[in-house]
Amino acid sequence: MTAFKYFQNEWTPVINEYLEKHLTADIDDQKISQIMSYSVMAGGKRLRPLLFLSTLNSLGKVITEKEVKIACGIELIHTYSLIHDDLPAMDNDDYRRGKLTSHKKWGEAEAILAGDALLPLGIQWIAEGSQSAALVEIITKAIGPNGMVGGQYLDINSTNNDSVAEDAEFINRMEWLKTGCLIQASVNMAAIYGEASQVEQVKLDDFAKMFGRAYQIYDDLVDVVETSEEAGKATHKDQEEGKNNTLTLLGIDKSRKELTDLIKQAKDDLNGLNSEVLAGFLDLYKKVL
Ligand code: GRG
């Protein structure tokens, strides 16, 4: 078993138990607690909390409940973004993580409020776990108007807009803000919390940038690779839905090539760090190459 798999197998259940316990025990109203838990516990990969914890691991830090609380705070924020992204006013999706989306299951107002409640609770867990204004600053910048929400805004405004379909700079920026910023923040929060040296901080930040950029390409490719291999053809949902992303811009082969280049750069960025676990994250991408 690789160091990454071992780490993943060890910490995913710990993250899941923390989330389940505290989403039930710490929320007064049982119904809103149930609605929030429904989406959080629907079986995500826990990529961002695992990235936070494995970055700490690469810095030689011992992981205790405080660190798990920070990691879980990131997952709450991620889940809020998914619930809101699925709403009728945004992507209007019926399924997420293999289950009905929050608004389909509970109603639209309930889904909006569940997302609204997960966002500040996530920030609260990060603040309480870390006791660090620096970490709160990193996460809030990453998810605000110059980060994830800004990217989502660009995204909704570019859907069915042919004028950006060939605009690589716009697409890169939109994807980076929407997906990359939260991934980068997960690594950089650990770098600060784990007292990385200046040199280590730069290497980890470079790694996070490559990894975050690669993740969006991967996420778009997963759909296509799975559906097109099944159907034996290369049509894909994003194109049909009028989306503009790296995949619709470059097509499948060039997107794979770009992903391969990014993985190589991300591996290079880790040189000189004790990063066997972090490097293992890059194996995730093999699925679509
Ligand atoms: C609504 C403010 C707001 C933001 C939405 C995250 C996001 C921004 C939109 C979701 C759509 C999407 C595919 C975005 C790219 C980010 C991404 C790859 C999300 C899925 O994350 P995974 O693969 O999902 O980590 P799981 O379910 O495993 O957690």
Q: Which residues pair with 95 in a beta bridge?
A: 100
Tell me which CATH code domain 1-130 carries.
1.10.600.10
Per-residue pLDDT tens for 132-159? Answer: 999 999 999 999 999 999 999 999 988 8
The answer, yes or no, to whether any atom of ligand 1 lies below 6 A from the CB of 81, is yes
Q: Mutate which of 52, 183, 219 to test ligand 1's pocket (most atoms within 8 Å of Cβ)?
A: 219
Task: Tell me what pLDDT residue 228 has.
Answer: 63
Cβ of 149 closer than 6 Å to ligand 1, yes or no, is: yes
Q: Distance, CA 149 to ligand 1 centroid (Å)?
A: 12
- Interval 252-284: pLDDT, tens: 999 999 999 999 999 999 999 988 999 999 999
219 lines ligand 1 (CB under 6 A): yes
Report if pTM > 0.90: yes
User: Contact, 213 vs 174, CB < 8 A?
Assistant: no
> For a substitution probing ligand 1, which of 38, 76, 143, 179 has the most ligand atoms within 8 Å of its CB?
179
13 closest CA partner among 53, 57, 61: 53
Burial classification of residue 54, based on how many CB atoms lie within 10 Å of its CB (0-12 exposed, 13-18 middle, 19 or more buried): buried
Q: pLDDT band at 63, cuts 50/70/90?
A: very high
Instruction: Please state the atom number of ligand 1 nearest to the C-alpha of residue 143.
Output: 2
Q: What is the ipTM of this complex?
A: 0.90
Map out the domains of the chain as residue ranges.
1-130
* CB distance 213 to ligand 1 below 6 Å: no
